[in-house]
Amino acid sequence: MKLEDQLRSLMRKEHYSRKTEEGYVGWYRRYVLWHGKRHPAEMDAPEISAFLTHLAVNKRVAPSTQNQALNAIVFLYRRVLGIEITGIDAQRAKFRKKLPVVLSVEETRELLRGTGPDAVGMVVRLLYGCGLRVSEALRLRVKDLDLSGGKVEVRGGKGGKDRVVTLPKSMNARLREHLERVRQVHLSDREAGASGVYLPYAMAAKNPSAATSWPWFWAFPAKRLSADPRAGGLVRRHHIHEISVSRELDRAVKLARIPKRVTAHTLRHSFATHLVLRGVDIRSVQELLGHSSMKTTEIYVQLARAMRGDVGSPLDDL
């Protein structure tokens, strides 16, 4: 079994996310290629340190990127090769504080005006309306949208944390109509005998029949069935792909003529900043975003102050 296949097999056995798996495999490949395709078992702490220093000095990666590379390599040695690595001494990447891109209220209005009425357009609206990460929005199940209670339950967000956010009232009617269309997709899958949707590993072991149930069906399912590479090529329905959201955003940004680099995360930043502009306390914003540290959330206070013009320029007094 190739080393890459061993790495993938172990990560799948321990239920790592697909993104983490692809990230770790990518760093394994880069590490080996940078050292002239030498086998990792032939290398030790000096080679690892040299690679991590290269990332910091030559590639000028962010600290979080360098940390991910380190975690991937240590996982490879410790868990796959059974080798304990000590004495890693690499130059650390410098932390560069970056302000997030935030849209004004008017820019956000114009952008959302240009989004379509379909499922992808509704995902874009949820990104801003609930401050969701794109992965959180796409992984929503039918049961997570509590239309009667007016809330969205985010399960297994970043760091495996759950949280609850308020569902925008303006989306209630649209989502009801959308879920009726989704129900027809679910029924057609059942009639066709298609395999059920992917389940979190704990639920898959505890209640495998939930995979074909309506509550566990994707709130935003893909249009076509596809093979699941992590389930032996089992044909099932997945959720909408992230690239569909990116394309919809790109189209809406061009239509609104917004001169900023807008990504799905920009809408999350804008959600938080606009809440602060409305006077929502920073602690509540932290809980809605699911941040572990208040320091991560405090940047939106700085952005909101600038947008409000709390500290005026002396130029205006002249």
DSSP 8-class letter at 79: I
Domains parsed from the chain with CATH numbers = 3-81 (1.10.150.130), 118-260 (3.90.15.10)
Name the pLDDT band for 158 (thresholds 50, 70, 90).
confident
> Residue 175 pairs with which residues in a beta bridge?
none
Instruction: For tokens 């030790």, name the residue.
Output: 44
Contact indicator for 30, 70 with CB cutoff of 8 Å: no
Query: Among this protein's residues, is 265 annotated catalytic?
Result: yes
Displacement of CA 307 from its chain's centroid (Å): 27
Q: Which whole number is the average pLDDT over 100-106?
A: 95
**Which three-class secondary structure state does DSSP give residue 87?**
coil
pLDDT, tens only, 215-249: 999 999 999 998 887 777 788 999 999 999 999 99
Q: What pLDDT shows up at residue 212?
A: 94
Rounded CA separation 243/225 (Å): 17
Which residue in the list 178, 236, 239, 268 is annotated as catalytic?
Answer: 268
Instruction: For tokens 């007094």, name the residue.
Output: 317
Query: Among this protein's residues, is 39 annotated catalytic?
Result: no
DSSP 8-class letter at 311: S
The CA-CA-CA angle for residues 138, 144, 147, to 5°, reads 110
pLDDT, tens only, 31-66: 999 999 999 999 999 999 999 999 999 999 989 899
Query: Among this protein's residues, is 133 annotated catalytic?
Result: yes
Residues 6+ apart with CB under 8 A from 242: 134, 135, 138, 264
Query: Among this protein's residues, is 274 annotated catalytic?
Result: no
Q: What pLDDT shows up at residue 230?
A: 74
Which residue in the list 241, 265, 283, 308 is annotated as catalytic?
Answer: 265
Report the Cα–Cα distance between both ends of the chain, in Å, rounded: 74
Which residue in the list 8, 28, 125, 133 is annotated as catalytic?
Answer: 133
